[in-house]
Amino acid sequence: MKVFKHLFTLVIFVSLIACTSDDAPLYELNSINLSAGTYDVTYLTSNATQTQNVNGLDIITEDITVGETFQLTITFRENGTYLADGQYVINTQRTVAGEIVSQSTYIEDIDDEIGTYAANNSTMQLLLDETLFDVTLFNNNQLRLSTSDAYTEDDIDYFETSEIRMVR
């Protein structure tokens, strides 16, 4: 009976230790951890869908934007500002009712643009200027952001999503 008691106590003790380590975040989302290095943007995509009812028929317009060939860095500073600098290629495509109506490719040049940010570790969100992003991954090597928004304006339904991935 004593062996069973000691074994039971040991199992309880080990399970308590295992549970407490899961509760604490491994890498907190804050200005100190964000400013620990410069991020290279590696992925950028954005989708915007507009649905408009015309004579009882929903007409869907979709705009897809994809970035590539990144030479873009973002440096977060401890004071709540960030600096973006570099270039990347943007490919856009617009479809209306399933048909491609336009496509374009151009180089976006960002020259030492300064913005503001606010990090919220409890909600895992990052406010960049006026856009609120959900932080889907944050550690000492990567930062991934996503956002989505749905609204109606002038009887047109809009749904927009975007994702940005960065590495140090």
Give the position of tokens 């749905």.
Answer: 150
In contact, 45 and 66? CB cutoff 8 Å: yes
Query: Which residue would you say has higher pLDDT here, 3 or 111?
Result: 111
In contact, 110 and 85? CB cutoff 8 Å: yes
Q: Dihedral through CA 103, CA 105, CA 109, CA 115, nearest 10?
A: 40
Predicted local confidence at residue 120, as pLDDT:
95
Predicted local confidence at residue 26, as pLDDT:
72
Say how many residues make up the chain. 168
15 pLDDT tier (thresholds 50, 70, 90): low
3 has pLDDT over 50: no
CA gap 142, 167 in Å, rounded: 4
104 has pLDDT over 70: yes
Predicted local confidence at residue 37, as pLDDT:
85
Query: Which residue would you say has higher pLDDT here, 165 or 27?
Result: 165
Average pLDDT across the chain, whole number = 87
User: In this predicted model, what pLDDT tens digit does every residue of 24-77 receive, in sequence order?
Assistant: 457 899 999 999 889 999 999 999 999 998 888 899 999 999 999 999 999 999
Predicted local confidence at residue 43, as pLDDT:
97
Mean pLDDT across 124-149: 95
Q: pTM, whole model, 2 decimals?
A: 0.79
Predicted local confidence at residue 90, as pLDDT:
96
